[in-house]
Amino acid sequence: MKRFAMKDYGEAKDVLIEIEAEPRPVDDTHVRVELTAFAINPYDVALRQGAMRDFRTLKFPYVLGNDGAGVVTEVGKEVSHVKVGDEVIVHAVGGTYGEEVVVPGKKIVKKPASMSWEAAAGAVTPWLTTYNLVTHLLGDTIGDTVMVQGASGAVGSLLVQYLKEQGKTVLASASKRNETLVRQLGADQFVAYDEVDAGEAFADQADTVIDATKGGRAGEAGMQIMKAGGNFVALNNLPSEQKKAGNYFSFGPSKDYSDFEALTALTELADKIQLTIAEVLPFELRSVVEGHELLEGHPSAGKIIIKKAD
């Protein structure tokens, strides 16, 4: 079984390799999925670069990948919501960079027929983040006006759409080149952070600010945009100096969140929510290297997906 692994920390072209792996056994609670597509996330790039090595120890060769979609080929006795042949969406702790993955049954849901393989694989982590942040971290405290920084990104674009589904007023920032995209997703107001100071443009207007960028200076603007006493949520680092009174949260995955619940919500909204796909690359090692290299720069909006030929 072909898988794409990292043999060490380092540059994509130096450490990503193709390996032939033995299939893992499937116990009563697990499911085997033959993957049709998997997504590359910024988190994979950070893991490969070694940025997480103080918190998470990897044993090499390590197969990256949390997000995928494919067809069920084996089902444990205690799993009843899917059967062999079903098309499914998969969230794994690791290992979706390859031809198959074995995951707990509670981490897969059936893929709606109307959802493309690319959208199914690409939406997993961005959607789990969006859903858990809005529904569980903030819940009723979110308020009526929400600012999304990084609204053109995978997480940001789903946040804009999910918040609009819930009737919120959404303020958004991204680069000028992505203004049309973000407005089309439903943002009520948009500021291009590379032309205008978003902090000044939207000062004191949002009940909740979500920094869905890759970090950098967005935090300063975000604090300016948050109403005093509001919520500020960061997907990466919180601002080092919290200059305004408010509730500051650093969002991260939690055992308290149910993948099954969140992914089921995704399937229910599948026809209403769109995911931008930047690249669909062939199921080969050079595609995985290319995907990682693209994410290291400032790529076009949208997910990078590796997909088997039809």
Ligand X SMILES: NC(=O)c1ccc[n+]([C@@H]2O[C@H](COP(=O)([O-])OP(=O)(O)OC[C@H]3O[C@@H](n4cnc5c(N)ncnc54)[C@H](OP(=O)(O)O)[C@@H]3O)[C@@H](O)[C@H]2O)c1
Residues forming contacts to ligand X in the complex (CB under 6 A) are 42-43, 125-126, 129, 149-150, 152-156, 173-175, 178, 193, 212-214, 216-218, 235-236, 251-253, 301
Give, as one character, the DSSP assignment of residue 291. H
Give the three-class secondary structure for 142. Answer: helix
CB of 80 to ligand X, least distance (A): 30
Nearer to ligand X, 98 or 153 (CB): 153
CB of 42 to ligand X, least distance (A): 4
Give the list of residues 6+ apart from residue 271 with CB closer than 8 angstroms, or none. Answer: 112, 114
Nearer to ligand X, 201 or 212 (CB): 212
* β-bridge partners, 115: none
Is the CB of residue 277 less than 8 Å from the CB of residue 305? yes
Rg (the chain; Cα; Å) = 19
Nearer to ligand X, 32 or 276 (CB): 276
Is the CB of residue 241 less than 8 Å from the CB of residue 105? no
Nearer to ligand X, 31 or 225 (CB): 225
CB of 209 to ligand X, least distance (A): 11
Closest-approach residue to ligand X (CB): 153
φ, ψ of residue 213 to 5 degrees: the values are -85, 180
CB of 221 to ligand X, least distance (A): 7
CB of 20 to ligand X, least distance (A): 30
End-to-end CA distance of the chain, in Å? Answer: 19
Locate 55 and state its tokens: 């918190």
Nearer to ligand X, 147 or 289 (CB): 147
